[in-house]
Amino acid sequence: MKKPLWIACLIMVIGCQHSPTVPENATDTVVDDYGRTVAVPHSPTRIVSTSPAVTEIIFALGGDRLLVGRTQFCTYPSEAVRIENIGGISNLNVERIASLHPDLVISGSMIPERSIDQLSVMGVAAVCVIEQPTFDGLYRNIQRIGQLIGKKTEADSLTNCLREEVTSLTAKQDTGHSPTVYYVVGFGGGGNFTAGGNSFIDDIITMAGGRNIAHDMEGWNYGTEALLAQNPDYIIVRKEDSAAFCRMHPYTMLDAVKSGRVIAIESSTIDLQVPRNIDAIRFLQRRLCQQ
């Protein structure tokens, strides 16, 4: 069984690490993605992650032994479920987090600033690392998290591996034709939602050889009439939503649905900004080349 890319990259740096002597209680000052100036421990030993993307990146950097808490949605890799569950994201339980006595909390895009401020008032160092609007933002977030958890060498190695893999995959593209693609974020009576050109998901589609019909759109809302008029070559939809989407009117009128060109994808590989985005590019590239 092929090892995930992040494991192969991590193996490359094992045994090559050198940690300079640093005072035990040393702190660093960082500015997080909410613009907050935070004093964080130079070498944290008890970390709580309130973001599935942050948790996955910490594992990819070999920092999983530092994790003492994670949300109920932090389920990849499977080893993450062994870590203490602190509950949901939208209803963040700051008291539960504080009870774990973390020396660092790293949050993501879904956590409101007021919750982070609550933790700070309680004396917990809390830093927000938000997903970025471009694919390259993945490298940036890996570097930021690597710096925060004392895994800079591993972060450098992982980003280099990811860059090389992207270069290799995009070099294989068929530049003669780019099939049109629509990615389903939400559908049905509540409206249609997709990823526009100001999203890393749009970059993933492009790197896989597709052309996102929502590329010129900002935001997430997409009209049903526009979708039917564009009639994309392929529909990409989360695995868990695929069957319902293909049965629902008016989506049954789309040629992609009629012709079986609906690609069901593992949602966490494309919805989260994580190293597994490489898997999404590889998977989509194979499927889009079948036309």
pLDDT tops 60 at residue 1: no
User: Do 187 and 136 lie in a common domain?
Assistant: no
For residue 289, the model assigns a pLDDT of: 78
pLDDT tops 80 at residue 11: no
Q: How far apart are CA 131 and CA 113, in angstroms?
A: 15
User: Do 178 and 156 lie in a common domain?
Assistant: no
Residue with tokens 């319902």: 244
Is-contact 141 273, C-beta < 8 A? yes
User: Do 182 and 246 lie in a common domain?
Assistant: yes
**72-126 pLDDT, tens digit each:** 999 999 999 999 999 999 889 999 999 999 999 999 988 988 899 999 999 999 9
244-259: average pLDDT = 97
Give me 247's structure tokens. 């049965």
Residue with tokens 């006595």: 101
User: Do 138 and 258 lie in a common domain?
Assistant: no
For residue 181, the model assigns a pLDDT of: 98
State the DSSP string of 173-188.
Answer: --TT---EEEEESB-S
User: Do 143 and 256 lie in a common domain?
Assistant: no
User: Do 228 and 269 lie in a common domain?
Assistant: yes
pTM over cut 0.85:
yes
Asked if the structure places residue 169 within a domain, the reply is no
Asked if the structure places residue 280 within a domain, the reply is yes
Domain end among 111, 132, 162: 162
CA-wise closest residue to 274 among 60, 37, 23: 60
User: Do 152 and 198 lie in a common domain?
Assistant: no
State the DSSP string of 45-103.
Answer: SSEEE--HHHHHHHHHTT-GGGEEEE-TT---SGGGGGSPB---STT--HHHHHHT--S
**125-162 pLDDT, tens digit each:** 999 999 999 999 999 999 999 999 999 999 999 999 99
Asked if the structure places residue 3 within a domain, the reply is no
Q: What is the SS3 string spanning 135-149? A: CCHHHHHHHHHHHHC
Length of the chain as a residue count = 291
Domain end among 133, 162, 191: 162
User: Do 52 and 106 lie in a common domain?
Assistant: yes
240-246: average pLDDT = 97
At 239, which CATH number? 3.40.50.1980
Structural domain of 57: 23-162
Q: What angle do CA 64, 83, 114 make, to 5 degrees?
A: 90
| Number of domains within the chain | 2
Longest Cα–Cα distance in the chain: 66
Asked if the structure places residue 7 within a domain, the reply is no
Domain end among 130, 162, 194: 162
Asked if the structure places residue 215 within a domain, the reply is yes
For residue 20, the model assigns a pLDDT of: 53
User: Do 113 and 181 lie in a common domain?
Assistant: no
Residues 6+ apart with CB under 8 A from 81: 75
User: Do 123 and 157 lie in a common domain?
Assistant: yes
CA-wise closest residue to 36 among 127, 124, 147, 107: 127
